Amino acid sequence: MVAPAERVGKKTSQSIYTGFDRMLIGDSWRLGRSDQRIRDLDPYKGDTLLELASANAQDIDDAYAAAAAAQPGWAAQPPAVRAAVMERAVAIMTEREEEIVSWLIHESGSTRLKAKLECATTSAVMREASRIPYNVQSRVLPGDVPGKECRVYRKPVGVVGIISPWNWPLHLTSRSLAPALAAGNAAVVKPASDTPVTGGLLLAKIFEEAGLPAGLLSVIVGSGDGVGAAFVTHRTPRVISFTGSTKVGRHVAELAAEAKIIKRVDLELGGNSPFVVLEDAPMDQTLDAAIFGRFLHQGQICMSANRFIVAEAIYDEFTQRFTERVRAVKYGNPEDEDTLVGPLINQRQLDNLLQRITEARQAGARELVGGKPDGLVLPPHVFSEVRNDMTVAREELFGPVAPVIRVGDEEEALRTANDTEQGLSGCVFTRDLERGTRFAQRMECGMAHVNDQPVNDLPNNPFGGEKNSGIGRFGGEWAIEAFTTDQWLTVQHEPRVFPKRASEVSGAASVGG
């Protein structure tokens, strides 16, 4: 492999594919110090894309130290400087799209459709981030002390630690990284071991080429077991932004609480999204959405339609027509233009899913569509007569399996939809939009959609969940809130008169006033 291009802040003729056997730490691309090595595999072909030495605790110290040193100067830059880096990053992604798409296909098992969508959503995140420097606003508040001016300064938190997953690695890293940088912070990223390039190293290359000053972004590659605790508990980051499973998210929150310096934690965790079909649903529209919302990226999406909850009156029609559609879904080679279902990310994910399928059969669910895996490609599966207490409905599947649950009426549909420990996303289909709106408002989830499938993420809207699906929100003004903090500062413009006895204290006076 060719060594990475030097940091020059301008376009190079070299492909941004190269140099990913090293990680960016501070101002240089270098090997990790650990003896452990990470093999980056193509989940469809099984080929080794690259090997790299894992980071260790010293690498984490170096990355956070560089970030802390670089951040004050970056925060002091005019908004136009930070916005321009984001705008150049968007332009680079546009120019390099085919390279990026190819990395997503070969490293994360993305189909070409999903990879192009991920490029588009990542660009949208960066484009939205280019507006953030102008939207970080301070305020002047009224106060009851004569001559006192009360100011509230919105300031960057300093350094942000970002832990990202393997399923939409480019987008889900950039969703935290771009707004954090745009708001004036530095960042250290730890991508998933399955996707070190698309989850971090590729973005480091893009921002390097866009002219991001040295030290502001480092990428630490290592397993969660190997470096996760040191990454989270380190004294430097003031915010840890984590996207991943509920189980790991709980552990991250526990580590952050036990750190010597308490830090804020934003968690976007697993989901069990209900796809509710009421008896008056527009059937063709509903079926189109059902196929996309369940099988895009093999169902490996936290907000993917995990359960289909269908009213009794149309259950048989929906199930029959949905099954026909699923049988026509193309699965296999992710590079083909019309493939919808490609490979699962690794053997562990496949084994877990096969276990859920076996349990569904044993519990009495009726398998309408199925098939044996070919490598890591699992054909789409459909189960009817599923009960909400079956494992196939209780757990996030993260694969191309669609359980269909029969309910009697709208109220039972709502109870079934809310009967889960997760609360990320959900949707409802009906011809009556006001009815759908009332239903969606009663859904116990952070995001609810009427007559659209649940896989939605718009960069200026709040993304996040309730219950065990997380804490905090991403996107727009919510991203600003996530990566900034308020400082109350007062200026006493005239000498203050302090009370000398209790009788001089008025009810309106502030503490000490």
The catalytic site residues sit at: 268, 302
Distance CA 418, CA 420 (A): 6
CA-based nearest residue to 67, from 244, 251, 234: 234
| Cα dihedral across residues 192, 196, 201, 202: positive or negative | negative
Distance CA 360, CA 366 (A): 8
* CA 4 to chain CA centroid, nearest Å: 27
User: In sequence order, what DSSP letters do the residues of 314-371 get, joined into one string?
Assistant: HHHHHHHHHHHHHHT--BS-TTSTT--B---S-HHHHHHHHHHHHHHHHTT-EEEE--
Range 142-164 burial, b when 16+ CB lie within 10 A, else e: eeebeebebeeebbbbbbbbbbb
CA-based nearest residue to 275, from 421, 441, 451: 451
CA-based nearest residue to 218, from 247, 227, 226: 227
**195 with 169: CB under 8 angstroms?**
yes
CA-based nearest residue to 154, from 472, 489, 490, 487: 487
**24 with 204: CB under 8 angstroms?**
yes
State which H helix or E strand residue 19 sits in. none
Strands (E), 443-500: 447-450, 466-467, 470-471, 484-492
Task: Give rounded-to-5 percent helix, strand, coil for the chain.
Answer: 40, 20, 40
CA-based nearest residue to 440, from 458, 425, 453, 427: 427
**430 with 281: CB under 8 angstroms?**
yes
| Cα dihedral across residues 71, 76, 78, 79: positive or negative | positive
Distance CA 259, CA 230 (A): 10
Q: Would you mind telling me the total number of residues written for the chain in this entry?
A: 513
3-state DSSP assignment of residue 82: helix
Q: Helix 169-182 crosses helix 112-129 at what angle (to 10 degrees)?
A: 10
**154 with 138: CB under 8 angstroms?**
yes
CA-to-CA separations, 58 to 62, 156, 463, in angstroms, rounded: 6, 26, 34
